[in-house]
A = this chain, B = another copy of it.
């Protein structure tokens, strides 16, 4: 299934089901008022959602309308929880280099996950506002999962059964702030403004064999001002989403609607490019002696599109401009 949330002036938006090919859509508010409400009562409402989705794809819903990404908020405009990992070790190693942070001895065995802000997620085409471009505005292309309730101490193998939806994310970051916040030990706050999401959240079966081993095994194409800078594949994630969930649920339960991100998608093969500018810059520094790609400024445009091998974009497209608040 594929779900979107349309702007309707309310805080949680209007819940829609979108066809597999993202051409048409129909309100699902008769089944659940919001996507969060559907996640809260998933076992009860998902059969009705499945039936509606089947009729929509079969062309049997006379009131279906053209799918309009420009009306989309994030699938969950606000959520009870946003957890973001750094599960691509290639990225993590390069960022240690970039930030000159001390080596983490648990790097390969204990996932790095920070608790992020879930109160104000941004839609796929919404301008993103920042107070100052001297803060080193950066993007982070990621995949993520949306969970049902996960009991405390759920193991990694059981955890995957709690994945309800997959999402595609741009975790906007302010790199000039991050190192100070990391050194202080309390994690990211000012360094992580509102996060943006591709228009549709999808059930894992929508990826067929490309949802494998708890990883999203497709390439995330990232463009800055029309120039492709990355096409890294999600299959190189060191920890699976199941392992990340188990880590987060180790000392408490996770409530339905929790979103968990992979961290910046990154591949060892440098031909895959990068999903964030910091990584591009540190590679330039290592390979060429100096970083030359600038961080983002007013008017810059970032486009992210995960693609299946047939060229289709299962999550739709994130395409945002950086603007001054």
Q: Which positions in A face B, CB cutoff 8 Å?
A: 11, 40, 78-81, 83, 86, 101, 104, 106, 110, 112-120, 129-131, 135, 152-153, 174, 177, 180-194, 247-248, 250-258, 325
Contacts and interface: CB of A to CB of B under 8 A. Distances in A.
A144 to B, nearest CB: 15
Contacts of A251: 130-131, 135, 174, 177, 190-191, 193
Given A255-B78, A258-B119, A131 B250 contact: yes
Given A78-B80, A131-B153, A115 B187 contact: yes
Given A113-B189, A131-B153, A189-B247, 15 more contacts: A11-B40, A11-B255, A78-B255, A112-B184, A115-B117, A117-B252, A119-B258, A129-B152, A181-B185, A182-B186, A186-B188, A190-B247, A190-B251, A191-B251, A194-B252
A61 to B, nearest CB: 30
A116 B115 CA distance: 6
A174 B185 CA distance: 15
Contacts of A253: 120, 194
A113 B177 contact: no
A115 B115 contact: yes
A95 to B, nearest CB: 10
Residue from A177, A187, A190 having most chain B Cβ neighbours under 10 A? A187
A295 to B, nearest CB: 14
B186 A187 contact: yes
A152 B131 contact: yes
Residue from A106, A112, A185, A254 having most chain B Cβ neighbours under 10 A? A185
A69 B51 CA distance: 43
Nearest to A78: B80
Nearest to A174: B251
29 contacts: A11-B255, A78-B255, A80-B119, A81-B118, A81-B119, A86-B186, A101-B185, A104-B184, A104-B185, A106-B184, A110-B180, A113-B189, A115-B115, A115-B116, A120-B252, A120-B254, A131-B153, A152-B325, A174-B251, A182-B185, A186-B187, A187-B188, A189-B247, A190-B247, A190-B248, A190-B250, A190-B251, A193-B251, A194-B252
B114 A189 contact: yes
